Amino acid sequence: MFVLIPAFEPGPALPGLVADLRRTDPDLDVLVVDDGSGPGFAEVFAAAREAGARVVTHEANRGKGAALKTGLADIAVHFPDADVVTADADGQHTPSDVLRVADALREDAGRGRSALVLGVRDFGGDVPLRSRVGNAVARSLFRVATGRRVTDTQTGLRGIPADRIPWALGIPGEGFEYEQRVLLRLAPDGVAVREVPIATVYLARNASSHFRPVRDSLRVLMPVLLFASSSLAAFVVDTIALFVLDLVTGWLVPSIIAARILSATVNFVVNRRVVFRARDQAVTGQAVRYGVLALALLASNIAWMSFLTENGLALLPAKVVTEGVLFVLSYGVQRALVFPRADAAPPARTVRVDTAPLVTADPDAMTTTPTTGRIR
């Protein structure tokens, strides 16, 4: 079992965390990836080595995702049967919580189960406002994007079973967005997830953290916001057209159909060009797939609208309820099937390594095999 700690300009808590982990559970090996922190932090990493960690170093800062992939690839090559617990370097994860996630992995292995283990915080008590708000925003956006509830989308304390390491290495991203992309791939790739409650710890109001909760969450979930904006624009077009046509003709169903054709055309163009940026793909295939989806949504729209209005709900509230129900379904289908992109496809099960330099900084490394490569 490995504990993998990516670290960029870490505070003084790192060596103590390593020492506590090694003392509490000698069966845990600790691998620290120095993500280009520079000479000013050499003493911290030297102390981590003295505490029992092996340290590998990026010559330049590449991002947390790249550091995690470097560590995972190193472990996969030299210890292919080892499970991995990833933890942050800023002292937010106590040794007891790290061991709790490690024990969950061991328990799953004993039962023949393979699941990503998430150490989740409850964000109660004295939690910095930016962290509380950031997690709430990220959690809400994640649920809108996937329809799946994850209590703590920003947790860096995760357990990855050995058989899921190639999967994790195939997910794109080199910065903080990588960890959220991992969560976004859970449902499409059929990866089970297990949550383990952990303490919520912030040292010096989380001053050592480089994570920007709202900005980094929005970065990976921006397509959801764009899709929502596109859907809102289509909703406005559809609603105005529906009211005008229904007012003029008095025929509800034909008015729904005509308004939907107009709004769907607007929505298709905006989604193709702006939301999913799929202009490099054949428009004919996209249009056919979108048309099939639009027909399915139209049938659902008619069924819901007819049912709601026949049971006494006014036209506008019925419209709002119907569109809200169909929103999440439409986004998921369009992202996965109508406008699929390379980074939305199931990840490859192989590891790509290029020749970007990586230095093994620990002269007493656990293995003499050189560690090289930047993992993408």
Any idea which of 54-68, 163-177, 345-359 has the lowest mean pLDDT?
Answer: 345-359
Between 261 and 325, residue with greater pLDDT: 261
Over 60: is that where the pLDDT of 376 sits? no
The pLDDT of 330-359, averaged and rounded, is 55
Q: Any idea which of 92-96, 137-141, 287-291 has the lowest mean pLDDT?
A: 137-141
Instruction: Give 130-177 pLDDT, tens digit per residue.
Output: 556 666 666 676 776 666 778 888 888 999 999 999 999 999 888 878
- Token reading at 63: 């991002």
From CA 267, how far away is CA 289, in angstroms rounded?
14
Q: What is the pLDDT of residue 218?
A: 55
Dist CA 22 CA 53 (whole Å): 9
Cβ atoms of 226 and 275 within 8 Å: the answer is: yes
Question: What's the mean pLDDT in 45-65?
Answer: 95
The Cα 166–Cα 351 span in angstroms is 7
Does 284 or 147 have the greater pLDDT score?
A: 284
Residue-wise pLDDT tens digits, 223-278: 667 777 888 888 899 899 999 999 999 898 899 889 988 988 898 998 888 887 77
Task: Using pLDDT thresholds of 50, 70 and 90, give the confidence band for residue 90.
Answer: confident
- Cα gap 39→260, rounded to integer Å: 61
In terms of Cα–Cα distance, which of 49, 59, 44 is closest to 14? 44
277 conformational bin, left if phi > 0, alpha if psi -120 to 50, beta if neither: left
Least confident range of 15-24, 240-249, 251-260, 324-333: 324-333
**Residue 220 confidence (pLDDT) above 60:** no
Report yes or no: 95 and 21 within 8 Å, Cβ to Cβ. yes
Mean pLDDT of 179-200: 86
**Mean pLDDT score of the chain, rounded to an integer?**
80
Residue 271 and residue 264 in contact, taking contact as beta carbons nearer than 8 Å: no
Share of the chain above pLDDT 90, in %: 39
Joined together, the tokens standing for residue 241 give 């057209």
- Give 368's contacts (C-beta < 8 A, 6+ positions apart): none
Highest mean pLDDT among 30-34, 124-128, 224-228, 319-323: 30-34
Specify the pLDDT at position 79. Answer: 95
pTM of this structure: 0.62
- 4-8, 305-309, 319-323 — which is least confidently predicted? 319-323
- CA angle 75/5/99 to nearest 5° reads 90
Q: Which amino acid makes up residue 132? A: R
Neighbours of 185 (CB within 10 A): 22
Give the number of other CB atoms < 10 A from CB of residue 217: 24
One-letter amino acid for residue 294 of the chain? A
pLDDT for 47 equals: 96
- Taking alpha carbons only, the member of 196, 181, 18, 30 closest to residue 106 is 196
pLDDT at 234: 86
User: What does the DSSP assignment read for 35-57?
Assistant: ES--GGGHHHHHHHHHTT-EEEE
Residue from 118, 95, 92 nearest 18 by CA: 95
**Please, which pLDDT band fits residue 281 given cuts at 50, 70 and 90?**
confident
pLDDT number for residue 370: 38
Rounded to 5 degrees, φ, ψ at 317 are: -60, -40
Q: Which residues contact 6 (CB under 8 A, 6 or more apart)?
A: 32, 33, 35, 64, 67, 68, 71, 86, 88, 89
